[in-house]
């Protein structure tokens, strides 16, 4: 495939250059941090490559300009009111399988430390960010994910785009499954091949992600195709989960029915992208993890993912990978509060939804008793947060402890409460703290303008330390159940938080 002439230039311009396996790149430099944006790691998934596994990017001649974010995967914006809280830029173009690199940069190129420990002399730690968005939204171009602070603090930061929705996670009889996950693996392979060119150590890669990105990482931890591509992992607000092929295929079939075409990749490839996105949005618009409905999910396909990731990880998969994982305290409030669910749900509706979600009545009674001042919708949200996230992550930490995993396991909880729309410690709130981007208006849409910088400094430093050493700064998981809590107030280590509620799930 020929490169777009606008992307490749022989012109002499200011800006640092680096040579990758695919060719030379020209980036932009500011305050000792270089950024190379929109770098292709695979060919554009169009034409004969649509609904196919990613193919390596075609090498280019000359110097490729890498100063602007590349195209984002086909998607629709978040629906109101979330669109005002979660920025989701849309960059047009077909070459959506691209990534961005931020790195420390000296006068003569990559700033690799000459002193320090032996690991540092092998190159900088590398962190690879996989964005969230329910597998239908998001991209690496979201301003909150700017990698400058990580590079400032000695990390080579890579952020990745991957295929979304039916093009990334549709299930067809005539196409590979988990295409979006295959894209992520291809990007990680690119990082392994090219990290050293940016001053990074390919043996010291940490993959991290939030929400659907964290669910993806749980699958990568269980995938034989990703083995050896990373040494550490951070799972933020996402638990190991995947669906059987037959179950996941129902969403693809529902989209096909709306389009009035066969549920095959061949038929979908002939459908206009805008029409496909409209049908996808209509089918998935009313689904939720608690009430069910159509959604796109990672699937157990026998190749990328031979087993359910929760079972594989509990049985010792990736026991050699250092693991940092956690949640926000009130994940549910991002969905329940702006939509009014917390106010609309009464006791009867709460019981109906809990029964539908198969939450044991004994478990619900413990939460109600421990939260007498909370509305039925808030108690429902606390139960949903724990059922979907906190309990599975605690169970995984326990399984690694029982199995004597050779690598460390660390848990955190983010508890600072946003004043915006009474969102509290909601889903995605920790992102601006992890990336140390609190000053950006896109971050402040969720945090407000008065978020505590000292908390961002501490949380960001813990992620950097974990990538560099495998230790974020507190003791690993043990029978006392230590959880580092980031707010409210200063970070503090809490043993077995809300233990009565956690134990209530052991029925």
State the catalytic residues. 211, 331, 427
Q: Which DSSP symbol is given to 79?
A: P
Strands of the 17-19 sheet, one edge to the other: 8-9, 63-65, 24-26, 17-19
> d(Cα 301, Cα 181) in Å, to the nearest integer?
11
358 burial via Cβ count (<10 Å: 0-12, 13-18, 19+):
exposed
The two three-digit tokens of residue 22, written as one number: 């695919």
- Is 157 within 8 Å of 146 (Cβ atoms)? no
SS3 state of residue 492: strand
3-class DSSP assignment, residue 496: coil
Place of tokens 């030379």: 24
Question: Computed from CA positions of residues 35, 37, 43, 45, in that sequence, does the dihedral angle turn out positive or negative?
Answer: positive
Residues 6+ apart with CB under 8 A from 494: 413, 482, 483, 484, 485
**Other CB atoms within 10 A of residue 345 CB:** 20
- Going by C-alpha positions, the residue among 74, 37, 437 that lies closest to residue 271 is 74
- Alpha-carbon distance 386 to 317, whole Å? 24
Cα separation, 35 vs 65, in Å, equals 11
Structure tokens, 1: 């495939």
Q: What share of the chain is helix, strand, coil (3-state, %, to 5)?
A: 35, 20, 45
The torsion angles phi and psi of 109, rounded to 5 degrees, stand at 135, -150
Which residues does 183 contact at the CB level (< 8 Å), separation at least 6?
42, 54, 97, 160, 161, 162, 163, 168
Whole-number Å distance between alpha carbons of 23 and 214: 31
């Amino acid at each position: 495939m020929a490169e777009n002439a606008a992307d490749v230039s022989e012109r002499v311009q200011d800006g640092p250059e680096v040579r990758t396996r695919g060719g030379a790149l020209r980036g932009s430099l500011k305050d000792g941090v270089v950024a190379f944006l929109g770098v292709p790691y695979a060919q554009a998934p169009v034409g004969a490559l649509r609904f196919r596994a990613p193919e390596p990017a075609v090498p280019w001649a000359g110097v490729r300009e890498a100063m602007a974010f590349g195209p984002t995967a086909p998607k629709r914006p978040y629906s109101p009111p979330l669109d005002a809280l979660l920025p989701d830029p849309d960059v047009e173009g077909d070459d959506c399988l691209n990534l961005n690199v931020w790195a420390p940069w000296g006068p003569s190129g990559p700033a690799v430390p000459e002193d320090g420990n032996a690991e540092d002399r092998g190159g900088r730690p590398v962190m690879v960010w996989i964005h969230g968005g329910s597998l239908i939204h998001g991209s690496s171009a979201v301003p909150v994910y700017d990698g400058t602070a990580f590079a400032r603090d000695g990390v080579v930061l890579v952020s990745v785009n991957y295929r979304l929705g039916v093009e990334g996670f549709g299930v067809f009889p005539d196409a590979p499954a988990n295409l979006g996950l295959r894209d992520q693996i291809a990007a990680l392979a690119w990082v392994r091949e090219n990290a050293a060119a940016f001053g990074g150590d390919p043996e010291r890669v940490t993959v991290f992600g939030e929400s659907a990105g964290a669910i993806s990482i749980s699958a990568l931890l269980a995938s034989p195709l990703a083995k050896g591509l990373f040494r550490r992992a951070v799972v933020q607000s996402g638990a190991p989960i995947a669906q059987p092929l037959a179950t996941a295929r129902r969403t693809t079939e529902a989209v096909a029915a709306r389009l009035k075409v066969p549920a095959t990749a061949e038929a979908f490839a002939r459908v206009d992208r805008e029409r496909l996105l409209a049908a996808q949005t209509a089918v998935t618009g009313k689904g939720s993890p608690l009430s069910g409905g159509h959604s796109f999910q990672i699937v157990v396909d026998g190749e990328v993912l031979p087993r359910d990731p929760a079972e594989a990880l509990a049985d010792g998969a990736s026991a050699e990978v250092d693991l940092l994982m956690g949640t926000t305290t009130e994940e549910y409030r991002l969905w329940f509060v702006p939509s009014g669910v917390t106010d609309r749900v009464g006791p009867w509706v709460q019981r109906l939804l809990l029964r539908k979600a198969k939450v044991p009545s004994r478990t619900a009674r413990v939460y109600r008793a421990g939260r007498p001042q909370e509305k039925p919708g808030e108690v429902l949200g606390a139960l949903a947060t724990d059922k979907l996230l906190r309990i599975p992550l605690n169970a995984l930490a326990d399984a690694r402890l029982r199995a004597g995993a050779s690598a460390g396991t660390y848990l955190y909880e983010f508890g600072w409460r946003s004043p915006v729309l009474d969102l509290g410690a909601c889903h995605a709130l920790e992102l601006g703290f992890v990336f140390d981007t609190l000053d950006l208006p896109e971050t402040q849409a969720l945090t407000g303008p008065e978020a505590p910088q000292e908390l961002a400094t501490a949380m960001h430093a813990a992620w950097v330390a974990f990538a560099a050493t495998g230790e974020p700064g507190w003791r690993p998981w043990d029978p006392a159940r230590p959880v580092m809590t980031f707010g409210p107030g200063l970070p503090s280590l809490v043993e077995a938080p809300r233990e009565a509620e956690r134990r209530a799930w052991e029925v």
